[in-house]
C-alpha cells in the first residue's frame, strides 16, 4: 500500500494547530492509502512546540521535527521533504489557507493522470490585503520575465509530489531554496489543480514584508542572470552616450556650433546619472557576490533540535 505524507511547516501557530490537525486528520481518514503528518516546528516561541508534542504522543502517525531556532518557511519545508520516506507528499500551510479537504481530489487527479506533481493554482485569494494580492501577482509575472524557466503562475508550495520528485529534490545543494521553482525545474509530468485560497483561520501572517522581500529576491537571483545582463546593457548604453557626446562637443568646438563651457547643468546631470548607473550595477554585482559568499560557506540550511515518532 502506498504512503502519503502531509508536510506542514509551523511558526508560532498556537492559535491554529489544534483545528489544523483535526481537519487534516479528518481529510486523511477516508483515503485508501497509508498516511502520516510531518510537522516542522520552525523555532516557534509560543505554545506550538508543546501542542505538537502532545499530538505526537497520542497519534503515532504524526511526526514532528523541532528546529533549534527560526530558519524560515522554505528551510522548514525542505526539512520535511528531506525527512520524508513516503511515496507521495503534500505540502500544506498550517493556517488552513490551503484546505486539507482538497487532498482526496488532488490524490485522485494524480492517480488518474499518473502525474509526478500536482501543483495547486489559486483561482482567488480570500482574506488577504490588496497589497499582498497585487505584489504576489506582480512577483510571479516578473519572475517569469526574468528567469529562463517558465513557472506556472499564482502557485504556492501547496502541491503533491511523488517519490521521484522528492529524490531529485534531496539532491539540490543550494542553500537559498525557492522550492516551488525548484520543483517546477525538475520536470517530469506536472499538472495543475485549481482552487480557491481561503483566509487564515486564526492568527496573523508569519510573512512580514521583510520575509516577503527576502523570498522574492532569492527567487529572482537564484533563477535569473538577467539583472547582470541588464547591468551590462546599461553600461553599454552609458558608453555609447558618452562617445556620441564627446564627438558632438569636439565637432562643435571645431565648427563652432556648440559652446561647451556653459555646461554646468549637463555636467551635473551626467555625473549624477552615471554615478547612479555605476552604483546600481555594482549593487547588482554585490547581490550575486553575496549569494556566492553564502553558498560557499555551505552552512547547513537548518538545524534540528529534536525529532518525534521517526
| Residues at the site binding ligand UDP, with contacts judged by CB under 6 A | 9-11, 13, 42, 70, 72-73, 76, 93-95, 97, 205-207
Q: How far apart are CA 80 and CA 106, in angstroms?
A: 19
* Residue 240: all three cell numbers together: 555609447
Q: Find which of ligand UDP, Mg ion, none residue 154 binds, CB within 5 to 8 Å per kind.
A: none
7 has which bridge partners?
Answer: 38, 91
**Nearer to Mg ion among residue 95 and residue 154 (C-beta):** 95
Neighbours of 114 (CB within 10 A): 9
Least distance to ligand UDP, CB of residue 277, Å = 35
Least distance to Mg ion, CB of residue 206, Å = 7
Least distance to ligand UDP, CB of residue 172, Å = 19
Least distance to ligand UDP, CB of residue 58, Å = 22
Q: Which stretch binds Mg ion (CB under 5 A): 96-104, 159-167, 173-181, 226-234?
A: 96-104
Q: How far apart are CA 190 and CA 50, in angstroms?
A: 37
- Nearest CA to 206 among 50, 46, 31? 46
Least distance to Mg ion, CB of residue 97, Å = 4
- Nearest CA to 223 among 263, 259, 174? 174
Q: Find which of ligand UDP, Mg ion, none residue 169 binds, CB within 5 to 8 Å per kind.
A: none
Q: Find which of ligand UDP, Mg ion, none residue 24 binds, CB within 5 to 8 Å per kind.
A: none
Q: Which stretch binds Mg ion (CB under 5 A): 86-94, 107-115, 121-129, 137-145?
A: 86-94
CB contact at 8 A, 99 and 193:
no
**Nearer to ligand UDP among residue 48 and residue 281 (C-beta):** 48
Selected binder of Mg ion within 41, 97, 147, 155 (CB under 5 A): 97
Q: Decide: is 20 part of the binding site for Mg ion (CB under 5 A).
A: no
Least distance to Mg ion, CB of residue 194, Å = 19
**Nearer to ligand UDP among residue 181 and residue 235 (C-beta):** 181
Selected binder of Mg ion within 14, 36, 95, 162 (CB under 5 A): 95
Q: How far apart are CA 4 and CA 31, in angstroms?
A: 9
* Residue 86: all three cell numbers together: 513516503
Least distance to Mg ion, CB of residue 120, Å = 13
- Helix, strand, coil in percent for the chain, rounding step 5: 50, 20, 30
- Nearest CA to 158 among 91, 95, 99, 209? 91
Q: How far apart are CA 193 and CA 38, in angstroms?
A: 23
- Nearest CA to 155 among 91, 214, 111, 104? 91
37 membership: H or E segment, kind and range? strand 34-41
**Nearer to ligand UDP among residue 72 and residue 227 (C-beta):** 72
Q: For binding to Mg ion (CB under 5 A), which residues are involved?
A: 93, 95, 97
Amino acid at each position: 500500500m502506498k504512503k502519503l505524507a502531509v508536510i506542514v511547516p509551523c511558526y508560532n501557530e498556537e492559535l491554529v494547530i489544534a483545528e489544523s490537525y483535526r481537519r487534516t486528520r479528518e481529510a486523511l481518514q477516508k483515503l485508501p492509502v497509508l498516511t502520516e503528518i510531518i510537522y516542522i516546528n520552525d523555532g516557534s516561541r509560543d505554545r506550538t512546540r508543546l501542542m505538537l508534542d502532545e499530538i505526537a504522543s497520542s497519534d503515532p502517525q504524526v511526526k514532528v521535527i523541532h528546529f533549534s531556532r527560526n530558519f524560515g518557511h522554505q528551510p522548514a519545508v525542505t526539512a520535511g521533504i528531506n525527512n520524508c520516506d513516503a511515496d507521495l507528499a503534500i505540502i500544506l500551510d498550517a493556517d488552513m489557507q490551503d484546505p486539507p479537504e482538497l487532498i482526496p481530489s488532488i490524490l485522485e487527479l494524480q492517480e488518474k493522470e499518473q502525474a509526478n506533481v500536482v501543483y495547486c493554482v489559486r483561482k482567488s485569494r480570500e482574506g488577504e490585503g490588496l497589497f499582498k494580492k497585487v505584489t504576489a501577482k506582480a512577483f510571479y509575472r516578473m519572475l517569469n520575465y526574468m528567469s529562463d524557466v517558465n513557472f506556472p503562475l499564482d502557485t504556492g508550495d501547496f502541491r503533491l509530489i511523488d517519490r521521484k520528485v522528492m529524490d531529485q529534490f534531496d539532491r539540490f545543494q543550494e542553500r537559498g531554496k525557492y522550492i516551488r521553482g525548484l520543483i517546477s525545474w525538475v520536470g517530469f509530468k506536472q499538472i495543475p489543480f485549481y482552487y480557491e485560497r481561503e483566509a487564515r483561520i486564526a492568527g496573523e501572517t508569519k510573512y512580514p514584508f521583510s520575509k516577503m522581500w527576502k523570498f522574492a529576491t532569492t527567487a529572482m537571483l537564484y533563477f535569473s542572470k538577467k539583472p547582470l545582463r541588464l547591468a551590462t546593457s546599461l553600461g553599454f548604453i552609458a558608453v555609447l552616450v558618452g562617445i556620441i557626446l564627446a564627438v558632438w562637443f569636439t565637432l562643435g568646438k571645431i565648427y563652432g556650433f556648440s559652446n561647451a563651457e556653459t555646461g554646468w547643468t549637463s555636467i551635473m546631470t551626467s555625473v549624477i546619472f552615471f554615478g547612479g548607473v555605476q552604483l546600481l550595477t555594482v549593487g547588482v554585482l554585490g547581490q550575486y557576490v553575496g549569494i556566492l559568499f553564502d553558498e560557499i560557506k555551505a552552512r547547513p540550511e537548518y538545524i534540528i533540535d529534536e525529532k518525534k515518532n521517526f
